[in-house]
Amino acid sequence: MKTIFAVALIPLTLAITPLSMAGTTPKASATIMFYLDNQNGDYVDSYIKNQLEVIKNLSQKNNTVRWVTLHEKGSALSTGQRSLDIKDQNLTVNEWINGSEVLLADIKVEQKNLRPSFSNPEVLKYFLEKGLSLGSKHNILVMADHGVGSYGLMTTSLTENGKALNEVMSNREAAAAIAGAMKNTHAQIDLIIFDACLMANIEAVTDYRKAGLEMPVVASEDTTTPTSGSLNYEKTIGALAKELEKGRLFDSLLFGAMIVKQSKNNNAINISLINLKVLTDDILNKLSHLFADLTTDLKEPDKNKVYSEFLEARIVDDKTMGVDNEVDLRTYLEMLQKIKVLSKEVKESALELETALFSKTVAPDNSKLVVVSENDQSDVTSEKGLSIVHPIKPDMHEAETVKFFINDCKHSESLLFSSLTGWTEVLKAYVEFKTCDGQ
């Protein structure tokens, strides 16, 4: 999850008072809240354990930020040493002060009726209300776990009565939890950092935007590599904390772009900063017009054939974006402009949207949806910061790869974007079927 730019920063007039002793609550310019899901029974556990150590060290170096975490209490144990049965889970909210972990809340004690799973949006809401109630003027949320793009994040390996829960927190659930916590505490989250795969996705960010959230989001449109330290907290969040320690004025877009730039060469694949505020109804309406015209074109067999050939050549052969049935959105819009058989309306709309959503320069542009992105992965150089679900079918008669994503089938709760823009109709025309049964 990545380039360098200079921006004049205005110092705060308030003095920052250091801690006089361990255990003293710091005067905080910001609270950084880490929602660290280590209920997976896989490599994420060791990743979270390593990040907890980094947070501990950062709290020793920087007392102007409040460091708050939620993780499963048995995180110090390997997965072979601890139970993943939900009845044995104990999630604790902790503040790290001078390297010491101070208990703020024990969910098992305080919320006996709350299912202690990170995929439970009520757990996220409870955690955020605890963190936001600490009273910092500015707040940052980091969510670390597996991500599944248009569907959600925070997967779990927990079992209940011997059966796997098989849960994921959908983006709409997560967005509602975040919005609810802010409403209940009258506090704002200024920046969200998704330390998870595939979350820089137009469907996902639409779910957050339509829930009323307007803060910038840092995310990757590709898979991340937790075993290699995909988002090095020491380097990225540590740099942000140093700026606050210097008394810098809090600027969520500036700090989000800083994290993107600091992530360069750190195995964080194509991380980007997305400005949710720019994802307006006007933009969604423009997408709707584009998709309506494109659907009409794709219902013509000759045009559909050329489109399919372009898509396979551009996306597959050029290794643009084929992970988990997603393609790079900017590359896709560029592709539409190059397909001669498509209508003038499609080409003009694709150009208009590309211009509206993506910066023409490498410098951060706060007026665009994708403010800035960083990609130093040689095998996916065409990735440009934001993806869209678009399965690549192996032949013109294979609809199974698309069925998974459209309205009447699985994951329907993640497709608010489709209902607002008609994207589902594009996919239906692409694979030439009318319903999820292929009839």
Q: Do the beta carbons of residue 108 and residue 90 sit within 8 Å? A: yes
Q: How far apart are CA 98 and CA 21, in angstroms?
A: 8
The single-letter DSSP state of residue 392 is -
Using the Cα atoms of residue 203, residue 204, residue 205 and residue 211 in order, give the sign of their dihedral.
positive
pTM of the model: 0.88
Q: Do the beta carbons of residue 352 and residue 296 sit within 8 Å? A: no
Which residue is it, tokens 């799973």? 117
The separation between CA 376 and the C-alpha centre of its own chain, rounded to angstroms, equals 19
What lies within 8 Å, CB to CB, of 35 at 6+ separation is 70, 118, 124, 127, 141, 142, 143, 144, 154
Closest Cα partner for 417 from 204, 242, 268, 220? 204
Closest Cα partner for 419 from 432, 428, 406? 406
Which residue is it, tokens 């044995």? 88
Q: How far apart are CA 326 and CA 267, in angstroms?
A: 20
What lies within 8 Å, CB to CB, of 77 at 6+ separation is none
In our burial notation (b when 16+ CB lie closer than 10 A, e otherwise), range 351-382 reads eebbebbbbeeeebbbebbbbbbbbeeeebeb
- Could you give all domains of the chain from N- to C-terminal order, each with its CATH number? 30-269 (3.40.50), 281-358+380-431 (no CATH)
Q: Do the beta carbons of residue 16 and residue 27 sit within 8 Å? A: yes
The one-digit pLDDT tens for each residue of the chain (439 residues) are 333 333 333 333 333 333 333 334 445 689 999 999 988 878 788 888 889 999 999 999 998 899 999 998 765 555 556 678 888 888 999 999 999 999 999 998 888 889 999 999 999 999 999 999 999 999 999 999 999 888 899 988 889 888 988 788 999 999 999 999 999 999 999 999 999 989 999 999 999 999 999 999 999 988 776 555 568 899 899 999 999 999 889 999 999 999 999 887 766 668 899 999 999 999 999 999 999 999 999 999 999 999 988 887 776 665 555 555 788 999 999 999 999 999 999 999 999 999 999 988 778 999 999 999 988 776 677 788 999 988 765 544 455 555 555 544 444 445 789 889 999 889 888 876 544 444 4
C-alpha Rg value of the chain to the nearest Å: 22
Q: How far apart are CA 434 and CA 375, in angstroms?
A: 38
Determine the 3-state secondary structure of 95 from DSSP: strand
Q: How far apart are CA 62 and CA 244, in angstroms?
A: 9
